[in-house]
Chains A and B, each alone.
Chain A
Amino acid sequence: MVIAPLRRKVLRDLGRLWPQVLAIALVLAAGVATMILGNGAYASLSETRARYYADYRFADVFADLTRAPLALLGDVAAIDGVLQAEARIVKLGRPEFPDMVEPASILLVSLPVNPDAGLNRLHLRQGRLPEPLASDEIVVSEGFAAAHRLQPGTTVPVVMNGKRRDLVVTGIALSPEFIYALGPGEMMPDPRRFGIAWLPRATLEAAYDLDGAFSNLVLRLAPGASETRVIEALDRLTAPYGGLGATGRSEQTSHAFLDAELKQLGAMVKVLPPIFLLVAAMLLHMTLSRLVALEREQIGLLKALGYRPGSIAGHYLEFVLCIAVIGCLIGFVAGAWLGAGMAQLYARFFSFPFLVFTRDPQIYVLAAAITVAAATGGALQTVRAVLRLAPAVAMAPPAPADFRRRTGWAARLVPLRQTGRMIARHLLRWPMRSLSSIMGVAMAVAILVASLWSFGSIDHMIDITFSRAERQDVRIAFVGAEPASAVQDVRRMPGVMAAEPFRVVGARLSHGARSKRLAIEGRPADARLSRALSPDLVPMAMPGAGLILSEALAKALDVARGDLVTVEFLEGRRSLSHLPVSGISVGYVGLGAAMEIGALNRVMGEGALISGVNVSLDPAGQDAFFAAARQAPKTGFMNVTDLTVSRFRQTLAENITVMITVYVTLAGIIAVGVVYNFSRIALSEQGRELASLRVLGFTQAEVSGVILGELAVVVLVAQPLGWLIGHGIGLAMVAAFSSDLYRVPFVMGREVYATASLIVIAAALLSAIAVRGRINRLDMIAVLKTRE
């Protein structure tokens, strides 16, 4: 049996080189784990969503309008491509919990007569649906129920259209329409302050004077139907009834946020695994090259003994494949484990009735195949060299490493000590190895830079948005438009120090073929609370007639200052105007367009109306203000800046620890893997020289300094490179993640670079300490007795 002894050697080599083997296997495992986690989470999230949508008949098109007769529904259903249409009443009510000072709102959604046949079907978690004729029964969303400890049987007082009603919870449910339940004007879901209640339409008809009418449409389209054409037809039908313009799923809040999450996962899958696999291939190449160099004589002997070159090369391939298998196994376990953790995060963040965590064997097979390919790729060159090695050449001892070529000059340029020259020449002697190690460490830095910057950006975004642009303490949105004098009523409320009106009008802005549906906000010319900021973050005065567009909107419409945009108002008299773009402002959330409030009312042609008031409060009078604002019949909903910001921060804080741990671990694995392997190989090559230095009277510290100096050069050169690559990845992320929902400002600061470098250098130091132990244990005498 020819193979057996070689196979035993594979096992012995693996055992002997275990720290290096483990370091490489961990890098491979990180690649496998991120691949499985990313693909798995992606597949799991999109499949869960798809199945949820299908099983619960999630609508394709959504439209809000003021009031339309139910008879219109027949015309809507008749639109070509519409499979099913449902008319609903959707209104915002206000829950009144005795223990809750801060404002909350609850979205009231009418249930179809036969809920099982309707669209956006509910998934009941507990209890039952309301009786169709019961006028005080509701089903509430699960998050809201949990936040307020609601059970079937609990009574919830809700103010509907100014009248307080005691409603009884009959059940707790989830809906595909509110997987991500974001309250109006909020940045993050907060189940305490925003919930959904479903109730028979009769209750809502009565409360909002909508007998025989509806305020919201949801449609399901026939497969292959053109969404755009249906929306156009629908908008024509609803325009006379105050239609605000229909949207497809892509602009439906819950769907869009899920999409953004999927997009990020997709990007992670594209970026992270290739980095790890590439670094692992490079490490395998380095390690195997050294192993083969050390075993030249054995290889020559084996060849001389008549082993076929193929079986010798196969031996080294087997060694590499074993590492790949170890990496895959660790990666599978870690990927599955992290995947389960990720699913839990999703379950907390998104409301799904079930989570399909696909353990698609295909992903595992694919990951294994790619890993084996990367490992083999890393080994290929060395294995070819083994094949080519002639037995006689292999058995002769290698000539002393020749340092003449390309290294002589470099070290002479600088007046180095001799040990410095050794470091410089050794690094230059194997430029590919040095460069790929530098790249490896740089990748560790880049991963950190590309993940850590976002925290600073979010702080920046919060700071700009809430301390410079939206400086009000509370924003009250009225149920409907009110005369301008309504601001006086608010100003008289307790605790109010300043109050500024605003007007919000739904509109469609178009420029050429591009068009966006959004809300134009009117503000006083000299607004001090809610302001637009120029790109250099200076407050902008509202222009006399033109529009100020956010950068995102200007880009989406492809307009610049001075261009004319077509504005089609979707409210009131639905007038059509051409307005100049007077300025471009900074904004991170949504698409923004602003005008001077008077100018807006003029083009609308409806007199001086306001939609709400921004208020700054005396902290001492806050509770009294909330009580008063709540009682005011005009109040629709309120956004409290402090609550919005703290909820935002709290949500981020929950995820930040997880994210930082994951990214630091990933970067640490790369840094340790590269640094440890690099130094072990350097030590193996130079062990003899270093032992000679010890004999010559160099101290342990001086001798370690040679290897550690080499390492330091690699690690230090890698830093700026890593910053650069991380910066690039960050920029690509900004481009990839920006959507109409939000834009992430790119704030890359020195702290990000410093933090990334510190973490990587710390990881490098740890591996250096491990290697230093080995340097200190160098056996001087053994080395002197043997020839290399």
Chain B
Amino acid sequence: MPDDPDIVIRASGLTKVYRNGPVEVHALRGVDFAAVRGEFVVILGPSGSGKSTFLNILGGLDSASAGRVQFRDHDLTELDERGLTQYRRDHVGFVFQFYNLVPSLTALENVALVTEIARNPMNPADALDLVGLSARQDHFPAQLSGGEQQRVAIARAIAKRPELLFCDEPTGALDSTTGVRVLEALTEVNRAIGATTLVITHNAAIREIADRTLRFADGRIVETTVNTTRKRPDQVSW
């Protein structure tokens, strides 16, 4: 796998140290990781184990203290603020626990926000259709339920057809039924656009729909499980 031409994102020796005055927090202690095109990776692990830090660095929101991150054949570690912005803009979709929709824009407009600046975007209405929200496209976030808002966020994340889709606890703020709908939407778009998808979650059942599961502990990947037979979300008992 190390030289697989299909590898989209690769991290090696990734280390992150937060310094708050005299206190040093080692959030990542040398993480090696690679993912291929279209892969669906689930990240598990206790709170504080470095999952979000890992995802943020891969997504170009934060920079590593040591180690390298490569997107295709670009070295992210060498990019400045401007370069990282361009990387996020062109290649990465994010979904967060708190949907972070723009309250002054409707569902459709929130999606259009991204398609307007993307190189090869979908039609925003199609993106909403993918997450099953066509009917609510003219609603403002305040008029949508949490699950609906999260699905809008997913539509917004994938409307630019990103190579990478990073989801940090996307179901964290949702009840389980709604959470399942959101996860279904995620697998759906993963299949539809072929984006390499990394999902942080506390929901262990999600392993069954993933290609691979990583378990973080204390800033390291302590366990990797490869799933040979991926289930569909509706086949999983959550």
Interface residues of A (CB under 8 A from B): 399-404, 407-408, 417-419, 421-422, 425-426, 429, 688-689, 692-700, 702, 780-781, 783-788
Contacts and interface: CB of A to CB of B under 8 A. Distances in A.
B148 interface: no
Q: Rank and list the top 9 A-B pairs by shortest CB-CB distance, nearest first.
A: A697-B89, A425-B104, A697-B88, A692-B100, A418-B113, A400-B142, A402-B142, A400-B103, A401-B103
Contacts of B96: 784
B85 A689 contact: no
A784 B96 CA distance: 7
A784 B105 contact: no
Which of B56, B96, B110, B113 gathers the greatest number of chain A CB atoms within 10 Å?
B113
Indicate the size class of the contact surface on chain B.
Answer: 35 or more
Contact of A403 (B56, B88, B104, B117): B104
B142 A695 contact: no
B61 A780 contact: yes
B103 A697 contact: no
B218 interface: no
Which of A426, A689, A697 gathers the greatest number of chain B CB atoms within 10 Å?
A697
Contact of B105 (A421, A697, A699): A421
A697 B90 contact: yes
Interface string B46-73: 0000001000100001100000000000
Contacts of A788: 98
B98 A399 contact: no
12 contacts: A400-B103, A400-B141, A401-B104, A403-B104, A407-B104, A418-B102, A425-B104, A696-B114, A697-B92, A700-B85, A781-B56, A781-B62
B104 A695 contact: no
A783 B105 CA distance: 19
B109 A418 contact: yes
A97 B109 CA distance: 85
B116 interface: yes
A403 B106 CA distance: 9
Given A688-B100, A783-B100, 5 more contacts: A400-B141, A401-B104, A417-B116, A699-B85, A702-B117
B61 A697 contact: no
A605 to B, nearest CB: 85
A395 B96 CA distance: 24
Given A399-B142, A781-B56, A697 B86 contact: yes
B116 A697 contact: no
Which of A399, A407, A787 gathers the greatest number of chain B CB atoms within 10 Å?
A787
A695 B116 contact: no
A404 B90 contact: no
A402 B110 CA distance: 15
B100 A695 contact: yes
A781 B85 CA distance: 14
B142 A401 contact: yes
Contacts of B104: 401, 403, 407, 421-422, 425-426, 429, 689
A408 B98 CA distance: 24
Given A425-B104, A697-B88, A403 B142 contact: yes
Nearest to A688: B100
B143 A422 contact: no
B59 to A, nearest CB: 8
Contacts of A692: 100-102
A786 B98 contact: yes
Interface in B161-199: 168, 173
Nearest to B104: A425
Contacts of B89: 696-699
Contacts, number: 92
A696 to B, nearest CB: 6
Contacts of B103: 400-403, 689
Contacts of A700: 81, 85
Interface in B74-125: 81-82, 85-90, 92, 94, 96, 98, 100-105, 109-110, 112-114, 116-117
A443 to B, nearest CB: 28
A663 B88 CA distance: 48
B100 A419 contact: no
A698 to B, nearest CB: 7
A784 B173 CA distance: 13
Contacts of A426: 104
A421 B140 CA distance: 13
A469 to B, nearest CB: 61
Nearest to A788: B98
A132 B113 CA distance: 95
A145 to B, nearest CB: 71
Interface string B138-162: 0011110000000000001000000
Contacts of B52: 785
B68 to A, nearest CB: 21
A404 B138 CA distance: 10
Nearest to B149: A400
Contact of B140 (A402, A422, A699, A785): A402
Contact of B82 (A417, A425, A696, A699): A699
B18 to A, nearest CB: 11
Given A426-B104, A429-B104, A697-B90, A404 B143 contact: yes
Nearest to B111: A418
Contacts of B141: 400
Which of A403, A418, A702 gathers the greatest number of chain B CB atoms within 10 Å?
A418
B142 A696 contact: no
Contact of B116 (A408, A418, A689): A418
Nearest to B91: A697
A699 B85 CA distance: 6
Nearest to B90: A697
B151 to A, nearest CB: 16
Contacts of A688: 100
B100 A694 contact: no
Contact of A784 (B87, B100, B101, B109): B100
Contacts of B112: 418
A424 to B, nearest CB: 9
Which of B82, B102, B117, B168 gathers the greatest number of chain A CB atoms within 10 Å?
B102
A787 B99 CA distance: 9
A689 B102 contact: yes
B94 A696 contact: yes
Contacts of A780: 61
Contacts of B82: 699
Nearest to B81: A700
Contacts of A783: 100
A787 B98 contact: yes
Nearest to A697: B89
A776 to B, nearest CB: 9
B204 to A, nearest CB: 23
Contacts of A422: 102, 104-105
A400 B141 CA distance: 7
Contacts of B56: 781
B143 to A, nearest CB: 7
Contact of B109 (A399, A421, A699, A786): A421
A403 B141 CA distance: 9
A565 B117 CA distance: 78
A696 B140 contact: no
Contacts of B94: 695-696
Contacts of A403: 103-104, 140, 142
Contacts of B109: 418, 421
Contacts of B61: 695, 780-781
A688 B143 CA distance: 19
A408 to B, nearest CB: 8
Nearest to B173: A787
A594 B105 CA distance: 72
A425 B106 CA distance: 11
Nearest to B86: A697
Which of A402, A696, A785 gathers the greatest number of chain B CB atoms within 10 Å?
A696
A8 to B, nearest CB: 23
A688 B86 CA distance: 20
A780 B57 CA distance: 12
B69 to A, nearest CB: 16
A179 B117 CA distance: 72
